[in-house]
A and B are shown apart, each in its own frame.
Chain A
Amino acid sequence: MQYLLALYAEEAGWERMTPEQQQQGVAAYAAYTQALKSAGVHVSSNRLRPSATATTLRTANGKTQVLDGPYADSKEQLGGYYLIDVPDLDAAMTWAGRCPGVQHGTVEVRAIWAM
């Protein structure tokens, strides 16, 4: 089964870190990604640009509305994702628990709806 691990975090937290801390952060994610690949469960993963650079489209009164900014104005924003392929939710949760994102934010685990 495929699962999306959506990583949410307070973006200001990254800015507050020293260059050394940021380097450690990047290294932690790199190690995690490598672990997923070595285990053969990694499908894809990406870091996203900050939410301030997001553009939101929706329809209002029959017209397409374009908004400068992310979907929700929440404290934690989507910062990246991992798409993994594992046997069941237990496995997905185990991997999610190892993700560095759990330390400084939230990781949402959602099953892919196979069509």
Chain B
Amino acid sequence: MACHETSPIVAAVAQRSRAKLVAFLAAQSRDVAAAEDALQEAFAAALEKWPSQGCPENPEAWLLTVARRKLIDHLRRDRSSGDPEELERLAAAEAEEIEIPDRRLTLLFACTHPAIDAAIHAPLMMQVVLGLEAAQIASAFLVSPAAMAQRLVRAKAKIRHAGIPFRVPERGQLAERLNSVLDAVYAGFTEGWIDAAGSDEARRELAGEAIYLGRMLTELLPSEPEAWGLLALMLYAEARRPARRNQAGEFVPLTEQETRLWDAPMIEAAEAALKRASGFGRIGRFQLEAAIQSAHVERRRTGDVAWGAILELYDALVELTGSPVAQINRTVALAELEGAGAALAALAAVEGDPRVQAYQPYWAARARLLALKGNRSEARNAYEIAIGMESDPAVRRFLEKKRTQLEVTP
């Protein structure tokens, strides 16, 4: 194999094979940090050796052999945490695997184990599985790079020292544990999606990485409808990115977005994923949310929003999850069908929840409903709170405009 330019080849192998190699090494050694380091050194060795030695026939196997040797060295040196049995096992398994077993699923489950603080699941997964830098992840999650790096080190130490297994959970626990994986992927996507204009590169890439993980999950668990549901949900949302801000950089609500700006092929992919999910006949939270998105994007074909269908889907979602967020979003659909009064009454059901009081979209929804109903002073108060909680300048300007309009309307 001609090898004039090795670094793009190494980069390509790194991209494609990293998750698989880290998973294999981590599962064997239970030491995620050591596995990552060993693989990093193997990539460096590749960049050094391949120009002169030529690219190996099986780059993955070459990298695995080098990484494994470095991992054993590392574990031997680090006697305080080394488990002699593990070293024996690693050293004994020197057999040249032609086809490296795919342990990615076990790595995903290990990273989202209930014994690890849920808040670190998404960052941990993104670093370990995708190789994202702690600093990049940190900025997306609004945490200092130092704090993020420390939490990641702690989580990996927990995996190693607490004996978190690298195993696909039993049938009985699979649904619950899979939810943790899906939640973590979605959390990563949501952080990336906050940046609507796509101007924050770290965040925009995060959404793309989350979709990549979502696809990986559907490959690894093709019979899990919620994995397809999550992928569909993320694709629907991402497809609308170009329409979320207008030319002037202003916020455009979903129902007012220019449908021709939506990414049609991405919507097609979302529809296909949702269809695949529904074929299993096992409904779940992500499928319902994706179905709601699907109903919204129908506007590109019909010119109208199918509020009736959307309300039914929210009814199902609320019943399934009891989530206050779902209840709040439901009132938007309810208002379209039964008016602001009915919607406000439904909104009252969640106002006692302290999390809701601190949730910006609640106040924005409440403000809009009060304005529709004509309660101007209450609407003004709600807009004030919503504006005060909003960090996105474009959304803030939008809400300020709505608040100003309250004065003008006779």
Q: Which residues of A contact B (CB under 8 A)?
A: 1, 3, 87-90, 92-93, 109, 111, 113-114
Contact = CB atoms under 8 A, between A and B. Distances in A.
A111 B163 contact: yes
Contacts of A113: 161
B163 A1 contact: yes
Contacts of A87: 165
The winner among B114, B162, B163, B165 for most chain A CB atoms within 10 A is B163
Interface string B81-119: 001000000000000000000000000000001110000
Contacts of B165: 87-90
Given A89-B115, A93-B115, A114 B83 contact: yes
Nearest to A3: B163
Nearest to B115: A89
B83 A89 contact: no
Nearest to A113: B161
Interface residues of B, number: 11
Interface of A is mostly: mixed
Given A1-B163, A111-B161, 4 more contacts: A3-B163, A87-B165, A88-B165, A90-B167
A79 B312 CA distance: 52
Nearest to B173: A90
- List 8 tightest A-B contacts by C-beta distance, closest first: A88-B165, A89-B163, A88-B163, A1-B163, A89-B164, A89-B162, A111-B162, A90-B165
Contacts of B115: 89, 93
A109 B162 CA distance: 9
Contacts of B167: 88, 90
15 contacts: A3-B163, A88-B164, A88-B165, A89-B163, A89-B165, A90-B164, A90-B165, A90-B169, A92-B163, A93-B114, A93-B115, A109-B162, A111-B161, A113-B161, A114-B83
A70 B93 CA distance: 49
A89 B164 CA distance: 5
A3 B161 CA distance: 11
A27 B113 CA distance: 33
A114 B160 CA distance: 13
Contacts of A90: 164-165, 167, 169
Interface string B161-202: 111110101000000000000000000000000000000000
Contacts of B169: 90
Contacts of A3: 163
A1 B104 CA distance: 24
Interface in B114-155: 114-115
B180 to A, nearest CB: 13
The winner among A3, A89, A93, A109 for most chain B CB atoms within 10 A is A89
A90 B115 CA distance: 9
Contacts of A93: 114-115
Contacts of B83: 114
A93 B177 CA distance: 14
B327 to A, nearest CB: 31
Contacts of B161: 111, 113
Contacts of B163: 1, 3, 88-89, 92, 111
Nearest to A1: B163
A87 B30 CA distance: 13
Nearest to B161: A111
B174 to A, nearest CB: 12
B130 to A, nearest CB: 25
A106 to B, nearest CB: 15
A16 to B, nearest CB: 32
Contacts of A1: 163
B28 to A, nearest CB: 14
A53 to B, nearest CB: 32
Contacts of A89: 113, 115, 162-165
Nearest to B177: A90
A75 to B, nearest CB: 23
